Chains A and B, each alone.
Chain A
Amino acid sequence: MVAPIVQYKNVRKAFGDVEVLRGINLDITPGEKVALIGPSGSGKTTIIRLLMTLEEPSSGVIEVNGENLWQMKKGNKTFPADEKHLRAIRGDIGMVFQHFNLFPHMTILENCMLAPTIVKKKEKATVRATALEMLDKVGLADKVDLYPSQLSGGQKQRVAMARALMMKPKVMLFDEVTSALDPELVGEVLEVIRDLAKSGEMAMILVTHEMDFALDIADRVLFLNEGVIEEEGHPEEILVNPKSERLQEFLSRFTSSR
């Protein structure tokens, strides 16, 4: 057995009085592609935001490479993680957002170059070469000097992916990255993710409503409902032969639409 790269151990998250995650247990092995499906409001975004350190769990433990993300040890005492601890660990995690969140005051190329040069302090010329290569890979070689506002949604999302990839994360999180796009632009973005999934040793957690896509690229599918993982397994098992009535009902909404 390979040691998991990410582990959730009985993770709970409440916003005020509302508990949105109610005991999540989840192991992700290096390179594994996991699709996370479930109705809106079931807590999918929250699960990955906890790993990206954008939210803090109310209880439970999240480990990355066996290191406790939200707590640190000094001697034999544990403390809440500080910024330094979080930064040391989250370097292995990357994220692509539903609404791109590109930096509007920078060109596409600058968007991709900033973090490697500033955060990793790599040499500019090297970073530039890598960024151009990366942008070429996502099909935007001719757009590198444009600003985000000059791109279509699909192009913006491909830039966002190139930007995240520049940091060479071991785990990449995708939060419904196609749901803010016009239908005709979804394909080009999924294509890039598919290539990544097929070629990479990078683990991925994909929150998605694209069931055919999940079936195609995922090693495992998780069905989240009201803050708990209700069913999980091989994509065929979950998406083609769902057991629970709730999952069947959930999936019927998607199959009926095509």
Chain B
Amino acid sequence: MGSIADISLVLLSGLKITLIVLILSIIFSTLIALIAGLSRVSNNWLVSGFTGFYVEIFRGTSLIVQLFWFSYALPGLFNIHLGSDVWVAVLAISLNYGAYMSEIVRGAIQSVPAGQTEASIALNFTGFQRMRYIILPQAIRMMLPEYGNYIIQILKATSLVSLIGLTDLLYYGNIYRSTHLSEAPTVYILILAVYFLLALPLILLTRKMEKVAKKGVVHG
């Protein structure tokens, strides 16, 4: 059973990259989702149109292809270099998931009853104040459960970054397996276990957010 300890140690060296990519991707995809979601409900058709274009492009193509694009095609074609591989991965994942998540932002904003907007117009709030104090706080409660699900999906998506050469969990697992072929099952069972352990707090968080959401959206 010495090998389990050995394998774990090897995997551990990949954990750092996985965590960095995960955390940065969560932060940036959330920001992108908020900005894109708000832009899509904007009255300015240029803003909403351009954002719609972005969302459909990134939802309509696969994350793996986007990773390869940012990593190999952009530098080769246009001499655009996005910096280190970690940033390339974070950017691709964030733009991809930001596009999906912007749709839940948009949907939630649009499902806040019109009466809320009307009451806040009657109280003479500015457009920005209406969004900031009345609409968004209610919309965010509605989006929380779905948001949690996307965060878990982002974790799973981080396992793709080894394809552009990042030395994450899966990368080290594959390296170890290639030199210890007979231990392949143990390697992948351990990889599964580590991913599940990472997902566990996110799953619990999602549960909690579902509860908050249920409490928050009773109509006044």
Binding site for B on A (CB under 8 A): 52-54, 83, 87, 90-91, 93-95, 97, 99-105, 111, 114-115, 118-119, 147-149, 156, 163-164, 167
A50 CB, min distance to chain B CBs, angstroms: 13
Question: Which one of A102, A114, A118 lies within 8 Å of B220 (CB-CB)?
Answer: A102
B118 touches A54 (CB 8 A): yes
Nearest 6 pairs between A and B by C-beta? Answer: A148-B220, A102-B220, A101-B119, A104-B220, A149-B218, A115-B123
A164 touches B122 (CB 8 A): yes
The secondary structure that dominates the B interface is: helix
B121 touches A54 (CB 8 A): yes
Question: Which one of A54, A149, A156, A167 lies within 8 Å of B123 (CB-CB)?
Answer: A167
Question: Which one of B116, B124, B141, B216 lies within 8 Å of A91 (CB-CB)?
Answer: B124
B115 touches A104 (CB 8 A): no
Which B residues, 44 to 66, have Cβ-Cβ distances below 8 Å to chain A?
none
CB neighbours (8 Å) of A90 from chain B are 121-122, 124
| Residue in B closest to A149 when the chains form the complex, CB atoms | B218
Residue pairs across A and B with Cβ atoms less than 8 A apart, 7 shown, are: A54-B118, A87-B124, A95-B122, A101-B118, A101-B119, A104-B219, A105-B216
Given contacts A87-B124, A90-B122, A111-B220, 18 further A-B contacts (CB under 8 A): A52-B118, A83-B127, A93-B122, A97-B115, A97-B118, A97-B122, A101-B113, A101-B118, A104-B220, A105-B137, A105-B138, A114-B133, A115-B123, A115-B125, A119-B124, A119-B125, A148-B218, A149-B219
Report B156-193 CB contacts with A as 1/0, cut-off 8 Å: 00000000000000000000000000000000000000
Among A52, A94, A99, A167: residue with most chain B CB under 10 A = A99
B122 touches A105 (CB 8 A): no
| Residue in A closest to B113 when the chains form the complex, CB atoms | A101
Report B200-220 CB contacts with A as 1/0, cut-off 8 Å: 000000000000000011111
A103 CB, min distance to chain B CBs, angstroms: 6
The CA of A161 and the CA of B149, in the complex, are separated in Å by: 40
CB neighbours (8 Å) of A148 from chain B are 218, 220
Binding site for A on B (CB under 8 A): 113, 115-116, 118-119, 121-127, 129, 133-134, 137-138, 141, 216-220
The CA of A152 and the CA of B129, in the complex, are separated in Å by: 28
| Residue in A closest to B115 when the chains form the complex, CB atoms | A101
The CA of A167 and the CA of B123, in the complex, are separated in Å by: 7
Given contacts A103-B134, A104-B220, contact A118 B129 (CB under 8 A): yes
| Residue in A closest to B219 when the chains form the complex, CB atoms | A104
B211 CB, min distance to chain A CBs, angstroms: 15
CB neighbours (8 Å) of B134 from chain A are 103
The CA of A111 and the CA of B138, in the complex, are separated in Å by: 14
B219 touches A118 (CB 8 A): no
